[in-house]
Each structure stands twice: as C-alpha cells, then as structure tokens.
Amino acid sequence: LFARLCDEAGIVTTPITGALRLRRRGDLTFGINYGETPVAAPAPADAEFVLGDRSIAAHDLSIWRYARG
C-alpha cells in the first residue's frame, strides 16, 4: 500500500527486504546488514563508498554517498 501511494505521489523509494536497514545522514547513506548472509547495497552505479563496498557482509555495514557532479 505504501509503495503504491509513494509511487502515485512521485516519491522515490528504495525497496529493501530481509535484514537490511538503510539510514541517511546528510549526504551519506548507511546500509546495515543484520542478517546471516551478505546482501547487495542498493547504491546507485556512481556511488562513492566511504566504508565497505557493494557487498555488505553478514553483521556489517557499508557507507556511501552519491557521486558529486
């Protein structure tokens, strides 16, 4: 329901499942994997990783920012 409402309102969402949690602080996005298996970071192709990388290991995190253009 919420995904459909956001879509109708023109709000961009990032679908996530399982044990992955995302947090934004300024221009940084934190991807925190609380699960038992690695997950892919839902970062854009041109993201700059400050910590970690596109594969977030079990019980680990990655931090990225959007590329500055």
Q: What is the DSSP letter of 46?
A: T
- pLDDT (tens digit per residue) in 5-23: 999 999 988 877 789 999 9
- pLDDT (tens digit per residue) in 55-67: 999 999 999 998 7
* 41: nearest Cα among 62, 17, 26: 62
Angle (CA) 13-34-58 rounded to 5° is 110
Task: Decide if 41 contacts 33 (C-beta within 8 A).
Answer: no
**Whole-structure pTM over 0.85, yes or no?**
no
